[in-house]
Amino acid sequence: MTSPASETVPGAALRADGRTPDQLRPVTITRGWTQNAEGSVLVEFGNTRVLCTASFTAGVPRWKKGSGEGWVTAEYAMLPRATNERSQRESVKGKIGGRTHEISRLIGRALRAVVDVSALGENTIVLDCDVLQADGGTRTAAITGAYVALADAVAWGARHGHVTGGKQVLTDSVAAVSVGIIDGTPMLDLPYVEDVRAETDMNVVTTGSGTFVEVQGTAEHAPFDRAELDALLDLAVAGTAELTETQRAALAQEL
């Protein structure tokens, strides 16, 4: 499912890839990309390509047992050569790096924000987001794709009689995008070449109804003021609205 290209302002192509500042890269969401998982989505934001699988299992971790509630969690990782230089495998290093931990936690929180755990019942859904090719925005692509895989896994659980409460498990949808300020201009959905140059970098997660789930802004090279923050939030909200549409269109198709 490919998102429709935003309309571009003629003559304003400031960006290396020809996009306007407020334009997303081409976004593709392919459901059922692998066969074993209860939800399996290949999400692409330009050259960034993330495989998101959702594994539905009956039962919950020990600390949730008897609560009547389910659990949703996520793990993010990169293949060693997803990036331009090969990075060492975390399994070989014997430990998970801080960045990996941080992104896994972010994805998990973002998804849980739209899950009614009591409606899920004592079931667990694990989202694995493995970056096959990285070109900036891997965490936001992962959230956007993982939501679709989660929706498929929830539907699988309902079809197979594991989710029986009759309530909606998903209270809303969730999508994410990165924004940043480059040479003073706020821009949407940064690829790697822009990301490394950004003075300020922000990841924004919103629900389908447009409220915020997570706002993470970082001054990479220069502190930012309130006006810049507001401009970035405006861009991001428009971007996630567009991603929400792409998610809906993808989920509307037959699997």
Q: By the criterion CB under 8 A, which residues form the site for its own copies? A: 34-37, 40, 47, 49, 51, 53, 55, 57, 75, 77, 79-84, 86, 89-102, 104-105, 109, 113, 126, 128, 130, 132-134, 172, 202, 206-207, 209, 211-219, 223-226, 229, 233
CB atoms within 10 A of CB 58: 12
Q: Is 139 annotated for ligand binding?
A: yes
Q: Is 157 annotated for ligand binding?
A: no
CA-based nearest residue to 173, from 249, 244, 250: 244
Tokens of 210: 């447009």
Question: Cβ distance 49 to 133 under 8 Å?
Answer: yes
First to last CA, the chain: 12
- The minimum distance between CB 210 and its own copies, in angstroms, equals 8
Please, which residues have CB within 8 angstroms of residue 13's CB and are 6 or more apart in sequence?
A: 19, 20
- Comparing CB distances to its own copies, the nearer of 198 and 213 is 213
- Comparing CB distances to its own copies, the nearer of 4 and 221 is 221
CA-based nearest residue to 59, from 127, 153, 122, 150: 122
- The minimum distance between CB 9 and its own copies, in angstroms, equals 25
- Comparing CB distances to its own copies, the nearer of 7 and 225 is 225
- The minimum distance between CB 189 and its own copies, in angstroms, equals 18
- Comparing CB distances to its own copies, the nearer of 53 and 144 is 53
- The minimum distance between CB 77 and its own copies, in angstroms, equals 7
Q: Is 99 annotated for ligand binding?
A: yes
Q: Is 138 annotated for ligand binding?
A: yes
Q: Compute CA 251 distance to the chain's CA centroid, rounded to the nearest angstrom.
A: 15
- CA angle at 50 for the pair 48 and 54, rounded to the nearest 5°: 160
Binding residues for phosphate, by number, are 99, 137-139
